[in-house]
Structure 1
């Protein structure tokens, strides 16, 4: 069969695709819901108590990073050698929402881990009120990635 008109070709393609999907007896996979940047997940609904200093705040933020990214993080011993070590500076609004993320170090290999770290930060926000802490309202986190592209915040590596 020859299709000389674009409409006929498009209609035939849509009909064939529809028949293929329904003929298989399977449904197409449902889209995975994604949260917009800054959206609050159920684990983040409870605000963190105010931190006394930046060291305490960084520790709580690192714990929040792991809590918000359970399948993308680890807490055990750091493997040798590490796959990648991106470093981010996270600038905050007074309420702990992320204002800006600056990349301080891009690893020489597995450069994609930098974006994985940025995405993890955005998923974990907000990090808690910083209005009582001294300015500038920012902190640096080092992400220790293993071969499975899971991270551990350096702050939690005792």
Structure 2
């Protein structure tokens, strides 16, 4: 098990790697297309034990892509624990992740994606 992340950005990279591993059939790698047909921003709330408590669409213009993004988060199961990122007695962390879609509704995550 990797050591706990010390920054939110490092945690988001860990989560993105986990989500990509759990959804290999829904992802693509390599260079992003010049014109992304769909971009979805999700707000994700994770409990201190790594359990996903809530996933909601913050921004999207494509209902199909939104459904794929939310389903992919749900399918990912428990996420890495955000232990070092919880302030005081908070037992949950909310953060955003951006799903970048190609024309086949396969995605990359902004936290891992290279230049476009």
Normalising by structure 2, we get a TM-score of 0.87
**Higher share in strand:** 2
The counterpart of 1:77, out of the listed 27, 31, 34, is 31
Counterpart of 2:4 in structure 1 is 50
**Higher share in helix:** 1
Counterpart of 2:100 in structure 1 is 144
Counterpart of 1:37 in structure 2 is none
The counterpart of 1:102, out of the listed 56, 60, 79, is 56
Which residues in structure 2 correspond to 1:23-42 (within 5 Å)? none
In 2, distance between residues paired with 1:48 and 1:128?
A: 9
Find the residue that maps to 1:114 and give its secondary structure.
helix
Contact in 2 for aligned 1:58/1:155 (Cα 8 Å): yes
Counterpart of 1:88 in structure 2 is 42
Matched, 1:157 2:109: no
Contact in 2 for aligned 1:86/1:117 (Cα 8 Å): yes
Unmatched 5+ stretches in structure 2: none
Which residues in structure 2 correspond to 1:117-136 (within 5 Å)? 117-135=69-87
Unmatched 5+ stretches in structure 1: 1-46
Contact in 1 for aligned 2:19/2:73 (Cα 8 Å): yes
Q: Which runs of 4+ in 1 moved over 2 A?
A: none
Contact in 2 for aligned 1:85/1:144 (Cα 8 Å): yes
Find the residue that maps to 1:57 and give its secondary structure.
helix
Find the residue that maps to 2:65 and give its secondary structure.
helix
Task: Count residues in correspondence.
Answer: 110
Counterpart of 1:62 in structure 2 is 16
CA-based RMSD: 1.4
More relative contact order, 1 or 2 (CA 8 Å, 6+ apart): 2
